[in-house]
């Protein structure tokens, strides 16, 4: 029965990955389409402005083209398909995660495979939840692409059979500590995506002649920076609790709050990077590209902590299951 549930979970996860992949293509296609429309409209406006300028210089009215209407960032079929596919894929993803937990009779985040499964599920949940408040579909391609990549690595490199929990993990702190860490990671991921788009938008605003084009629905670099900052703060709160809960659990399991284990050190490094990001932006005036790069560095540290430290650095936290 356990094996059957795990097999169904795997099938649902592969189906979710396929849906996310198609959604990624649809999001990308829509971005390309709307960026091309904006470029064409802006080029037309520049030609009309040049024609008017020439006519004015000659002292005549001249024959001008009909004024170009402002760029309209119309919602295409591909964008609607992308959002619907993302929601349906998330439901399949949820089913896969729940079945994995039922198969193990525990929470589904006891090893790297399950952590990746649940982590990407919550990344998509945070993204879809934020869509109810703000139009963030312009980062849809980045989020779905990243989730497909993470799940691909997890299914190929991290997948293990369902096994009983090690003694050290048989604690209610497994539910609290790891779940909060996953939530922090989810918010850091959204902040990372917004920061990347912020850098692209800042480049376009700084050099209007650049060939870089983004849809009109993408906010200004300043708005993106503020959105990323708010999202990262939420993630930072979760990560702070992760550190505190981890120390309490360590004392209960090993008799000490802190032991400079590799995992503990990198968790603290991530906290320091994001604390520096928040402090520098709030008190030192680090705005614009510098704050965006700090958020990107922090997220890179999160990926390093999960993908490198868990695999290549052995210690008391070596519960990857590999």
Provide DSSP, 240-257. Answer: HHHHHHHHHHHHHHHS-S
Structural domain contains residue 26? no
Asked if pLDDT for residue 302 goes beyond 90, the answer is: yes
Report if residue 36 sits inside a domain. Answer: no
Question: Given this model, what pLDDT does residue 322 score?
Answer: 57
**Domain count of the fold of the chain:** 1
Q: Find which of 39-53, 104-118, 205-219 is predicted with most confidence, using mean pLDDT.
A: 104-118
* Closest by Cα among 159, 177, 160 to 168: 177
Indicate whether 40 pLDDT > 50.
no
62 band by pLDDT with thresholds 50, 70 and 90: very low
pLDDT exceeds 70 at position 294: yes
- For residues 97 and 108, is the Cβ–Cβ distance under 8 A? yes
The more confident residue out of 307 and 276 is 276
Residue 93: pLDDT over 50: yes
pTM metric for this prediction: 0.85
When pLDDT is averaged across residues 15-38 and rounded to a whole number, the result is: 88
Q: Average per-residue pLDDT in the chain?
A: 84
Tell me if 281 is assigned to some domain.
yes
Q: Is residue 93 part of a domain?
A: no
244 lies in some domain: yes
**1 has pLDDT over 60:** yes
pLDDT (tens digit, 9 = 90+) per residue, 42-60?
A: 444 444 444 455 545 455 4
In a domain, 251, yes or no: yes
Residue 188, domain extent: 165-322
Residue 151 has pLDDT above 60, yes or no: yes
In a domain, 191, yes or no: yes
In whole angstroms, what is the distance from residue 316 CA to residue 287 CA?
A: 39
Residue 103 falls inside a structural domain: no
pLDDT band at 268 (very low <50, low <70, confident <90, very high): very high
Q: Which residues of 190-217 are buried (b: 16+ CB within 10 A; e: fewer)?
A: bbbbbbbbbbbbbebeeeeeeeebbbbb
């Amino acid at each position: 029965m356990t094996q059957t549930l795990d097999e169904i979970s795997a099938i649902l996860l592969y189906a979710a990955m396929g849906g996310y992949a198609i959604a990624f293509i649809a999001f990308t296609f829509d971005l390309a389409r709307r960026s091309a429309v904006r470029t064409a409209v802006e080029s037309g406006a520049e030609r009309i402005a040049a024609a008017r300028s020439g006519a004015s210089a000659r002292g005549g009215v001249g024959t001008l083209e009909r004024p170009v209407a402002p760029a309209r960032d119309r919602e295409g079929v591909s964008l609607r398909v992308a959002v619907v596919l993302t929601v349906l894929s998330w439901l399949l993803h949820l089913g896969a995660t729940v079945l994995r937990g039922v198969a193990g009779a525990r929470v589904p985040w006891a090893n790297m495979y399950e952590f990746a499964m649940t982590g990407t599920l919550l990344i998509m949940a945070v993204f879809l939840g934020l869509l109810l408040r703000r139009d963030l579909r312009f980062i849809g391609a980045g989020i779905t692409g990243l989730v497909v990549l993470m799940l691909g690595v997890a299914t190929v490199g991290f997948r293990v059979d369902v096994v009983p929990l090690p003694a050290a993990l048989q604690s209610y702190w497994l539910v609290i500590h790891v779940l909060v860490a996953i939530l922090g990671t989810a918010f850091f991921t959204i902040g990372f995506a917004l920061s990347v788009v912020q850098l692209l938008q800042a480049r376009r605003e700084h050099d209007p002649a650049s060939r870089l084009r983004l849809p009109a629905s993408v906010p200004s670099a300043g708005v993106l920076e503020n959105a990323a900052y708010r999202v990262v703060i939420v993630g930072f709160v979760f990560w702070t609790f992760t550190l505190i809960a981890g120390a309490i659990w360590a004392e209960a399991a090993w008799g000490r709050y802190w032991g400079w284990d590799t995992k503990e050190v990198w968790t603290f490094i991530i906290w320091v990077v994001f604390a520096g990001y928040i402090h520098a932006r709030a008190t030192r005036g680090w705005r614009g590209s510098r704050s965006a790069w700090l958020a990107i560095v922090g997220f890179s540290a999160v990926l390093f902590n999960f993908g490198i430290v868990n695999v290549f650095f052995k210690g008391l936290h070596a519960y990857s299951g590999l």
